[in-house]
């Protein structure tokens, strides 16, 4: 039984995140989407809201669960008996920081294996920040986030 953790801020989740989750759910027995609670960033959605949005769109994935975590990711992995850490990589620019985090996590916990999953090409430009920027100017989020989340994100980001 292999358990993978997919950590992030998910403020809010995008189709890029969902692409990685969907593909991961086919590779691993269990995928835990883990929402960081102790971020220094100023979030647009509360942790509970972010979890709720993820649960809405992941309801049909029986081996995927969503939960919050705080503190070090490796401690969360140990607690959950997780084997693999999944990180989506959009561009070479993501790689440097992600490589540093992968080595840090490995130094803290030798069993922590990071898997870099290249994003699908249609989502290479996509991020939660981009989604919020578009929504704040009244642009269309069609194809960038799941349809059912569009009104919720538009409402929160409206200027």
Catalytic residues: 17, 41, 90, 128
- Quick one: which segment of 2-10, 22-30, 56-64, 147-155 binds ligand PNS (CB under 6 A)? 2-10
> Which residues ranging from 114 to 153 are in contact with ligand PNS (CB under 6 A)?
none
End-to-end CA distance of the chain: 47
Residue 72 found at the interface with ligand PNS (CB under 6 A): yes
Residue 36 found at the interface with ligand PNS (CB under 6 A): yes
Provide, rounded to whole angstroms, the least separation between the CB of residue 123 and ligand PNS: 14
Bridge-based pairing state of the strands 84-89 and 3-8: parallel
For residue 136, give Cα distances in angstroms to 24, 48, 112, 129, 159.
31, 22, 38, 10, 6
Residue window 83-112: x/- pattern of binding to ligand PNS, with contact defined by CB under 6 A: ------------------x--xx-------
> Which of 5, 7, 77, 126 lies at the binding interface for ligand PNS (CB under 6 A)?
7
Q: Which bin fits 143, alpha (ψ -120 to 50), beta or left (φ > 0)?
A: left
Provide, rounded to whole angstroms, the least separation between the CB of residue 67 and ligand PNS: 13
> Which of 4, 5, 6, 8 lies at the binding interface for ligand PNS (CB under 6 A)?
8
Q: Which bin fits 138, alpha (ψ -120 to 50), beta or left (φ > 0)?
A: left
DSSP 41: S
DSSP 86: E
Provide, rounded to whole angstroms, the least separation between the CB of residue 88 and ligand PNS: 9
Question: Is residue 39 within 8 Å of 66, Cβ to Cβ?
Answer: no
- The residues of the shown chain that bind ligand PNS, judged by CB under 6 A, are 7-9, 36, 72-73, 101, 104-105
């Amino acid at each position: 039984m292999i358990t993978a953790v997919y950590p992030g801020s998910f403020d809010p989740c995008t189709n890029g995140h969902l692409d990685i989750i969907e593909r991961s759910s086919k590779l691993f027995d269990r995928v835990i989407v883990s929402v960081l609670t102790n971020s220094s960033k100023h979030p647009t959605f509360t942790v509970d809201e972010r979890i709720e949005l993820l649960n809405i769109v992941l309801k049909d994935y029986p081996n995927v669960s969503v939960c919050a975590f705080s503190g070090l990711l490796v401690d969360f992995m140990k607690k959950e008996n997780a084997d693999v850490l999944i990180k989506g990589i959009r561009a070479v620019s993501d790689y440097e920081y992600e490589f540093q985090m992968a080595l840090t996590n490995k130094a803290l916990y030798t069993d922590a294996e990071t898997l870099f999953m290249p994003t699908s090409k249609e989502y290479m430009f996509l991020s939660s920040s981009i989604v919020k920027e578009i929504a704040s100017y009244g642009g269309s989020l069609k194809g960038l986030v799941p349809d059912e989340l569009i009104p919720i994100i538009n409402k929160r980001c409206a200027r």
